[in-house]
Amino acid sequence: TESTRFASVKRIVEQDLGRPISEVFRSFEEEPLASASVAQVHRAVLKTGEEVAVKVQKPGVDQVLQADLGFLYIAARTLEFLSPELARTSLVDIVAEIRTSMLSELDFNQELRNLETFRNFLDKNGLQSKAAAPRPFPEASSKKVLTMELFKGVPLIDLEGIRGYSKNPEATLINALNVWALSVRGCEIFHADVHAGNLLVLEDGRVGFIDFGIVGSVPPAIWSAVEGVTIAFVANDPQGMAQNLIAMGATGKVDEAALAKDIASVLARIAGLETEVVLRGTGDGRVRAQVALDDEQVTELLLEVVRVTDQNGLKLPREFALLVKQALYFDRYNKLLAPDLDPLRDARVNLGTSIAGSGSIASSDVIDV
């Protein structure tokens, strides 16, 4: 995504923090480390000496998003009114989820609270040696500016880069999966956007979770069905998935056999996805192998799952869409980094079922890398 000029970035930072940029930061790099549709990230050093990443919201993005997403939501509600048959589908719920998620991304104060919540979860359960989330700096943050610890590492799909930081990439993947799954059950929030850019292997071998703009939480009422769907998905069991999906979102009589047949076709598509290794040049003239992970392909599969459930008479809770998308990402990471790993039968993998009501986690849920 095209980046915003530094003059605009500097103006936003100073206006939102209420101070000149030189009073907050010892240095602030003009070229962004990364740029997306909502914000861009700059490397900086605080006056107190900490090296940080500063996420700055792009100018005018809030007005554009609110107008566009408001129109999209109204259009979906209108379609539902004109066609009552749509009322039993998840169309409006999906649009509402997109709208809620994207608008929540505009408030960096909320993302800061999300970071603190996830970091507390890691600390409470003794997981800091296996996973990390950036430390936020509230005194240098605001609604449109988020200053946090700068993580140094490589994306989870950088095959060669991972080997430089982890002796056992498979174990690193298992730790990422275990920590995320445990957070779904044992934390107030779970990371709901675990694409490759948001999962890093840090220089010390830990898994780094970044960008907590989109998070989710699972209502207790549907937890049992969610667990059942997860286990059935990993086991490639369409019948089991159908039974648990019906328990989660049936709005009337559902043909379980027909639903299972449709789910089987979706699982076949997922199993048939090909892994592509891409060779990319680095700045020092070396060539590095990375795995191509198509975000659009993952989204397309998610929409296919929603379509199958809709046409079979199910109206699923919006949180389920978030979970399915993350499950699809981890399924791809499994195939890329540990193709021989069976998450359902490997004793090292814990899909979140060991968390008791107290939120305690067994030490065996994470492994050395």
| pLDDT at 347 (0 to 100) | 82
Of the given ranges (22-36, 59-73, 108-122, 225-239), which has the lowest mean pLDDT?
A: 59-73
62 or 198, higher pLDDT: 198
| Distance (Å, whole) CA 20 – CA 122 | 35
Alpha helix (H) ranges present in the chain?
Answer: 6-17, 21-24, 61-82, 91-104, 108-124, 159-165, 169-186, 223-234, 238-249, 256-271, 295-311, 318-337
Q: What are phi and psi of 262, to 5 degrees?
A: -65, -40
- Indicate the SS3 state at residue 151: coil
Contacts 24+ apart (CB under 8 A), 273-276: 273/297, 273/332, 273/335, 275/335, 275/336
| pLDDT at 303 (0 to 100) | 76
303 or 362, higher pLDDT: 303
Highest mean pLDDT out of 78-87, 140-149, 249-258: 140-149
| pLDDT at 95 (0 to 100) | 58
Q: In the predicted model, what is the mean pLDDT of residues 350-355?
A: 57
Summarize pLDDT for 116-173 with one digit per residue, the tens: 999 999 999 999 999 999 999 999 999 999 999 999 999 988 888 888 998 888 899 9
Summarize pLDDT for 95-131 with one digit per residue, the tens: 565 556 666 678 899 999 999 999 999 999 999 999 9
Query: Over pLDDT 90: what percentage of the chain?
Result: 42
The pLDDT confidence band at residue 208, using thresholds 50, 70 and 90, is very high
Of the given ranges (57-66, 85-94, 313-322), which has the lowest mean pLDDT?
A: 85-94
| pLDDT at 263 (0 to 100) | 93
Summarize pLDDT for 325-347 with one digit per residue, the tens: 888 888 888 888 888 888 767 88
Q: In the predicted model, what is the mean pLDDT of residues 17-45?
A: 95
Looking at the predicted structure, is the pLDDT value of residue 321 above 70?
yes
Nearest Cα to Cα of residue 165 among 204, 124, 199 = 204
The pLDDT confidence band at residue 214, using thresholds 50, 70 and 90, is confident
| Distance (Å, whole) CA 314 – CA 35 | 38
Q: In the predicted model, what is the mean pLDDT of residues 6-16?
A: 97
The model carries a pTM of 0.77
Residue 193 appears among annotated catalytic residues: yes
CA–CA distance from 332 to each of 56, 177, 194 (Å)? 31, 12, 11
- Indicate the SS3 state at residue 277: strand
Q: Which of 193, 237, 310, 365 is catalytic?
A: 193
